[in-house]
Amino acid sequence: MIPHHEEALDSANILKEQIEREEMKQFAETIITTQSDEIEQMTAWLDAWYPERDHKISYQAIMMSQQLLYRELAEHEEVAFLAREIRNNQRDEIHMMSDWMFEWYGDAPVTETGRWDNVKSFFWSGMHLLERADS
């Protein structure tokens, strides 16, 4: 989950720098704060529980929180608790972004490029995660 969080941090930093809507700036800042804290917590657990293991893995190898829970792969209850929090928080964030998209842009396709492309990319990545978490 750490590489996924790091990717979200990169996206949130880009979004925060390029978007003008205050709601999105605050949203990006919340993601940066929350996911930075979660990365720190996960890294500390890995160091404490598995000091002999290499913790660097490729992004393709990570499991999403929902899969971790669904397959009951968490070896520690703290990890399962964090996975549930991540899953629930991301679901709430995605629904909020979906509401904003509809409120701000309705059903019509937006042709503005640049900053809007970053918002769309961030949003659709989140929608994909939600679809996977709900299945």
Domain boundaries, the chain: 2-32+59-134
Q: List the chain pLDDT tens, one digit each, 135 residues.
A: 888 888 888 888 888 888 888 888 898 899 999 999 999 999 999 999 998 888 777 654 645 677 788 888 888 999 889 988 988 888 888 778 878 877 877 754 544 444 445 555 555 555 444 444 444
pTM: 0.64
Residue 36 φ/ψ region, left for φ over 0, alpha for ψ in the -120 to 50 degree band, beta for the rest: alpha
Q: For residues 66 and 52, give the distance between their C-alpha atoms in angstroms, rounded to a whole number.
A: 27
- Spatial neighbors of 104 by CB under 8 A, at least 6 apart, are 21
Q: Which two tokens stand for residue 116?
A: 């809007």
CA 31 vs. chain centroid, Å, equals: 7
Concatenated DSSP letters of 8-70: HHHHHHHHHHH---HHHHHHHHHHHHHHHHHHHHHHHHHHHH-TTS-----GGG---HHHHHH
The closest of 51, 43, 64, 88 to 73, measured between CA atoms, is 64
